[in-house]
Structure 1
Amino acid sequence: MKTSDFYYDLPQELIAQTPLDRRDGSRLMVLDKNTGAVKHMHFYDLPSLLRPGDCLVLNDSRVLPARLLGHREPGGGAAEVLLLNDKGDKTWECLVRPGKKMKPGTKLSFGDGLLTAEVTETLEGGNRLVRFHYDGIFLELLEQLGKMPLPPYIKAELQDPERYQTVYSREVGSAAAPTAGLHFTKELLEQIQAMGVSLAYVTLHVGLGTFRPVKEEEITDHEMHSEYCMISKETAETINETRRKGGRVICVGTTSCRTIESWAAEDGTLKESAGWTNIYIYPGYRFKVLDALITNFHLPESTLVMLVSALAGREHILAAYEEAVREKYRFFSFGDAMFIGDQIQKLPED
């Protein structure tokens, strides 16, 4: 299949720049993965799509305030560092700006010297290794000095950093939010649990590779980025029990989907697991565990549009996206959501 097979036309004004005041007030498009039928709802209506015995799988990764603004020493020229991967020994792989002036040996200062660093190596592809120097706990310094690494298509300043975190985030390590989970409130999760739906948590630390465009003409020529993910023993047992009893496994976000599909056995069973995954899901893939997916609307020609097309069919997805454009849904990280499953024919009429 061609990358261009997953293109759709999106007006720029539909890219959401800020979150809604109410997390669960976003719109929710319900797509029947078998027929392509669509229904329009709101996210607070989600419980009506769930059944007792279902299991929601949520990614509890928390976004690192990984964007550091400082200056080069000596001279005081501006410097920006974006943390990507912790390499140990106070050294991180980073994106840096301005690249031409951030050569090995360049010394950096952030927060009036509260945090200092030195560029130690230029990596293939242009990223840098940066070694930091500080007193105290690095994560606490980042909370104090760092900014949220918002996606490149969001130009507005985020007023409340917690709005780029899910209400259940706890494992720090992502460079971008698992955005399907941003719609949940604690009250909505309590309501869902009270109706007999299990909640199971996985961790996948989202990398900036999630925004990397597919440049190859053939989708199979694209090299998928790797991300670290974990499944606890408790989560594996919860999901296995759900499937044994005939409940549905409903992933919140493509990150949760990629995590469980990465570690599932051929028969769909899971066990405690951890490691790096570069699973690449596109049409023709057979899902081992996932039955339904809650997700946002994704960038044209992206690997995430390919993933949802594997679940519901490319034609159904593109038709649903075209309707979302007509209906002026809000797109991408702070935008509206989709529920892709088999429930729509059972929904009451408006």
Structure 2
Amino acid sequence: MIKSSLLNYELPNSSINQEPYENPLDSKLLIAENREIISFKQFPEYVESDSLFIFNKSTVRKVRILTEKNTGGSLEIFVTKKLNDFEAICLLKSSDKKSKNKKYQTNLFNFQIQEVLDEAFRCIFDMKIDDIINKYGILPLPPYIKDNPKKRKFYNNQFSDNGFSIAAPTAGLHFTNELIDKFKNKNINTAFINLDVNLNTFKPVKSENLNDHNIHKEFYSIDKAEYNKIITYKQSNKNIYCVGPTTLRAIETAYSTKNLVGNTDLFILPDTKINLPTHLITNFHAPMSSLLSIVQNVYGDNWKELYKYAIDQGLKFLSFGDAVLFKYK
């Protein structure tokens, strides 16, 4: 049995970065191997030529819609999954009782609840979901970040392209297009995959045994040319930097299943064998996050000591925070 309490630690509120870095290159990177702290501006100097960086390019969509019911009262709709042009799985927040077949008329559009799910609702709208999101939606911020319109523009990767995420693959936030161009000038290559990050990424582990945790599924897709590039680097024993746990989850699933498109429920446990990357870059995660199992996997039992060191050095945690670079042994 792997005790899930392994993933717990003390995180002071003061270490949670509530404000995004206006210039992502000012954010900090802790090199786990020697505990050196550098800025992302300096990072290209530390990377060997002909290394490969793999990024998750999925875009965070404006899935949070604030509106008013025609009968009075506010209504918040949070689109968690688009099923087709007019149907979606949604979270609904309003004061009224919700039930199957209930119809809502709002000052923006109308919709009906078709099915009541565990924590959400399957709804059908009289307007295309994409049009609703593009016209009326706002970008959702993580639950631990105080909402402010000024912060939202920083919660998408500069290189994001297509995809349907409702949370950002935040390790990529440190990498501006300018930084990626500097990589290219140093003959450092890039590959892009897509994994759509869903709300369950914020769900803490609650089972006592880590093996009993029901890990969420996420949709991924990898272009064949990009996948072949990754495999070529692997076969040549060159450095492969995996940017973020979502990227790791996608490439490891593709490698083990040989499916370049699908849903992954891969749960990287402390003893899971990692096949492709030589390095992992990831933000600092919240206590009891399933993502800390990945940190335990790459760094071992001393990760709590490393996290305490980061806190003591004033590094910032979670989505708008700093990052750490791990090397696979």
What is the alpha-carbon distance in structure 1 between the residues aligned to residue 278 and residue 267 of structure 2? 18
Name the counterpart of 2:57: 60
Amino acid at match of 2:26: G
What is the alpha-carbon distance in structure 1 between the residues aligned to residue 301 and residue 168 of structure 2? 25
1:108-154 Cα offsets, whole Å, 9 max, x none, are 355x32x322222101x2210111112xx642431221111111101
Does the aligned pair in 2 maintain the 1:81–1:97 contact within 8 Å? Answer: yes
Aligned pairs, number: 328
1:175-196 Cα offsets, whole Å, 9 max, x none, are 1000010111111100011111
Task: Indicate whether 1:252 and 2:243 are aligned.
Answer: yes
Task: Indicate whether 1:92 and 2:88 are aligned.
Answer: yes
Identity of aligned residues (%): 30
> 1:105 Cα shift?
3.1
Task: Indicate whether 1:149 and 2:140 are aligned.
Answer: yes
What is the alpha-carbon distance in structure 1 between the residues aligned to residue 105 and residue 296 of structure 2? 45
Does the aligned pair in 2 maintain the 1:17–1:156 contact within 8 Å? Answer: no
* SS of residue in 1 equivalent to 2:41: helix
* SS of residue in 1 equivalent to 2:231: helix
Task: Indicate whether 1:128 and 2:121 are aligned.
Answer: yes
The range that moved more, 221-230 or 150-159, is 150-159
Name the counterpart of 2:269: 282
Detail structure 1 runs of 4+ shifted over 6 Å in the superposition.
none
What is the alpha-carbon distance in structure 2 between the residues aligned to residue 210 and residue 253 of structure 1? 12
Q: Give the alignment of 1:1-350 within 5 angstroms.
A: 1-32=2-33, 37-73=34-70, 75-88=71-84, 90-98=86-94, 101-109=97-105, 112-113=107-108, 115-123=109-117, 125-134=118-127, 138-159=129-150, 161-265=152-256, 273-315=260-302, 317-341=303-327
What is the alpha-carbon distance in structure 2 between the residues aligned to residue 69 and residue 248 of structure 1? 45
> 1:100 Cα shift?
5.3
User: Structure 1 residues 148, 109: closer, same or farther in 2, change over 3 A?
Assistant: farther
What is the alpha-carbon distance in structure 1 between the residues aligned to residue 68 and residue 116 of structure 2? 19
What is the alpha-carbon distance in structure 1 between the residues aligned to residue 259 and residue 47 of structure 2? 26
What is the alpha-carbon distance in structure 1 between the residues aligned to residue 207 and residue 95 of structure 2? 26
What is the alpha-carbon distance in structure 2 between the residues aligned to residue 46 and residue 192 of structure 1? 9
* SS of residue in 1 equivalent to 2:143: coil
> 1:94 Cα shift?
1.1
Structure 1, unmatched stretches of 5+, are 344-350
Does the aligned pair in 2 maintain the 1:119–1:131 contact within 8 Å? Answer: yes
Specify which structure has the higher proportion of strand. Answer: 1
What is the alpha-carbon distance in structure 2 between the residues aligned to residue 204 and residue 49 of structure 1? 27
What is the alpha-carbon distance in structure 2 between the residues aligned to residue 239 and residue 148 of structure 1? 32
1:155-194 Cα offsets, whole Å, 9 max, x none, are 1313153311101101130010000101111111000111
User: TM-score, with normalisation over the residues of structure 1?
Assistant: 0.89
1:220-272 Cα offsets, whole Å, 9 max, x none, are 11000000001111111111111222211111111101000111149xxxx66
> 1:99 Cα shift?
7.1
Structure 2, unmatched stretches of 5+, are none
Does the aligned pair in 2 maintain the 1:70–1:109 contact within 8 Å? Answer: no
What is the alpha-carbon distance in structure 2 between the residues aligned to residue 100 and residue 290 of structure 1? 49
Does the aligned pair in 1 maintain the 2:82–2:129 contact within 8 Å? Answer: no
What is the alpha-carbon distance in structure 2 between the residues aligned to residue 100 and residue 3 of structure 1? 37
Does the aligned pair in 1 maintain the 2:244–2:280 contact within 8 Å? Answer: yes
User: Structure 1 residues 257, 342: closer, same or farther in 2, change over 3 A?
Assistant: closer
